[in-house]
Amino acid sequence: MREIFEAELHQLGTDLTTMSQQVEVAIRDAGRALQTADLQLAESVIVADEAIDALERELDTRCVHLLAQQAPVAGDLRVVVTSLRMSATLERMGDLARHIAQVSRRGYPRVAIPQAVSGTFAEMNDAAVRVAERTTQLLRTRDLDLATSIEHDDEIIDRLHEETFTAILGGNWNGTPQETVDTTLLSRYYERFGDHGVSIARRMVFLVTGGHIAGAHTTA
Amino acid sequence: MREIFEAELHQLGTDLTTMSQQVEVAIRDAGRALQTADLQLAESVIVADEAIDALERELDTRCVHLLAQQAPVAGDLRVVVTSLRMSATLERMGDLARHIAQVSRRGYPRVAIPQAVSGTFAEMNDAAVRVAERTTQLLRTRDLDLATSIEHDDEIIDRLHEETFTAILGGNWNGTPQETVDTTLLSRYYERFGDHGVSIARRMVFLVTGGHIAGAHTTA
């Protein structure tokens, strides 16, 4: 009985890792589509998000069955409840990558972001891809140094998010209203993406150490 | 034993209702502060969000204890898991009201939104307040007609969200870049607020009917 349960718990971890890998691909491709106005790549991100959503539903169903059939307690219970929350967070990260791809698609054939912030968004996307990669590794290895790296990359994203607004409001901005809207939304999507990565990182710290998590809900 | 458990389940419902009432106050005051550049009111929303966050943490702790001590199954389990998710959603709704208040505060002493979209935002806020009010009533009464009303008001918000962009991109827009940024972000906050209301409405339908929920995760 215990062995089956262990296998099921292990499977939850594997599924979360799979979701996270798909989020990695999504954010990497969304960023590339944004920089190059690649319509096909943008559409592939939009379509692939359905698979992430489906994985979330499967994982949630599995968690609820586990709760009902195994009535886990203590550490096991924490794993199941945390998995439920992490799957919801990964689903949102997938949505945000999809939103970024949708902005690219709407802008096609032009590049949706003005040249003035192109470099900022390239950096922001690199940091977001690192967040996603480290989230996958963290889910696989539970190496808490990765949680620290995720927090660090989130700070980088927050700084770049501020830089975007500084560029828009700095007086030299000559973007069209459409570009201003798109740049604002895109920057917000990246900022939320980083927050969600931090949320997973903090939940993992909580799971591994059993300690309290300050501000485990994303506050931004 | 069963009586104590029933009382505890009932308490979860009461706590969610309390959170929802606080979200109602938050979105109503955030909208008023936005329209009138009322700094004090904006700050009261920002401060009050801490209480909503604290309620979420308490409610979550209680849910996890219930799962561990009572090992609920079937309908009871669904109530506990749904409560966990609804509290996370209400916490996000509180965050969004706080973000709206933060935009007002940043704009002070000027009104953050240009005159051209003032009416649109007044309507959007009215619809968001109705979403919050009906969410409270739905949590209290489980009357599923309220779920339908919430979906309807969310559609109104989505339409107004589109209208905002039409105004910005319509050629007659003379907002400053700051106003364009603020208008874009505010419109997005309201749109997400409505989505979260729909998420709670659909979860309640699922809880009451036991039926499947199409698109229970917010897809926007």
Give A-chain residues touching B175 at CB under 8 angstroms: 177
Q: For chain B, how far is it from start to end, CA to CA, in angstroms?
A: 42
**Residue-by-residue pLDDT tens, chain A, 220 positions:** 688 889 999 999 999 999 999 999 999 999 999 999 999 999 999 999 999 999 999 999 999 999 999 999 999 999 999 999 999 999 999 999 999 999 999 999 999 999 999 999 999 999 999 999 999 999 999 999 999 999 999 999 999 999 999 999 998 999 999 999 999 999 999 999 999 999 999 999 999 998 654 444 444 4
In the predicted structure, residue B219 carries a pLDDT above the cut 50: no
CA distance A33 to A27: 10
**Does the beta-carbon distance from B81 to A85 stay under 8 Å?**
no
**Does the beta-carbon distance from B68 to A74 stay under 8 Å?**
yes
pLDDT digits (tens, 9 = 90+) for B140-150: 999 999 999 99
CA distance B3 to A100: 50
Is the CB of residue B36 less than 8 Å away from at least one CB of chain A? no
pLDDT of residue A111: 95
Mutate to test the interface with B, among A79, A81, A84, A174 (most CBs of B within 10 A): A81
Nearest CB partner across the interface for B177, out of A85, A168, A178:
A168
Closest of A53, A45, A50 to residue A102, by C-alpha: A45
Percent of chain B with pLDDT over 90: 91
pLDDT of residue B208: 93
Give A-chain residues touching B177 at CB under 8 angstroms: 168-169, 173, 175, 180
The phi and psi torsions of B174 (rounded to 5 degrees) equal -125, 30
pLDDT of residue B21: 98
Percent of chain B with pLDDT over 70: 95
Domains of chain B in start order, with CATH, are 2-209 (1.20.58.220)
Cα three-residue angle B77-B14-B192, rounded to 5 degrees: 80
What the block records as the tokens of A142 is 């539970």
Give B-chain residues touching A165 at CB under 8 angstroms: 181
In the predicted structure, residue B217 carries a pLDDT above the cut 70: no
Average predicted confidence (pLDDT) for chain B: 94
Report the SS3 class of residue B180. Answer: helix
pLDDT of residue A210: 81
Is the CB of residue B214 less than 8 Å away from at least one CB of chain A? no
Residue B219, min C-alpha distance to chain A (Å): 7
pLDDT digits (tens, 9 = 90+) for B157-204: 999 999 999 999 998 999 999 999 999 999 999 999 999 999 999 999
**Does the beta-carbon distance from B73 to A68 stay under 8 Å?**
yes
Mutate to test the interface with A, among B67, B196, B200, B212 (most CBs of A within 10 A): B67
Nearest CB partner across the interface for B184, out of A67, A68, A181:
A181
In the predicted structure, residue B153 carries a pLDDT above the cut 90: yes
Interface of A with B in 131-190 (CB under 8 A): 165, 168-169, 173, 175, 177-178, 180-181, 184-185, 188
Residue A26, min C-alpha distance to chain B (Å): 16
In the predicted structure, residue B6 carries a pLDDT above the cut 50: yes
Mutate to test the interface with B, among A181, A185, A192, A196 (most CBs of B within 10 A): A181
**How long a stretch of residues is chain A?**
220
Is the C-alpha dihedral spanning B16, B20, B21, B22 positive or negative? positive
What the block records as the tokens of A213 is 């998590």
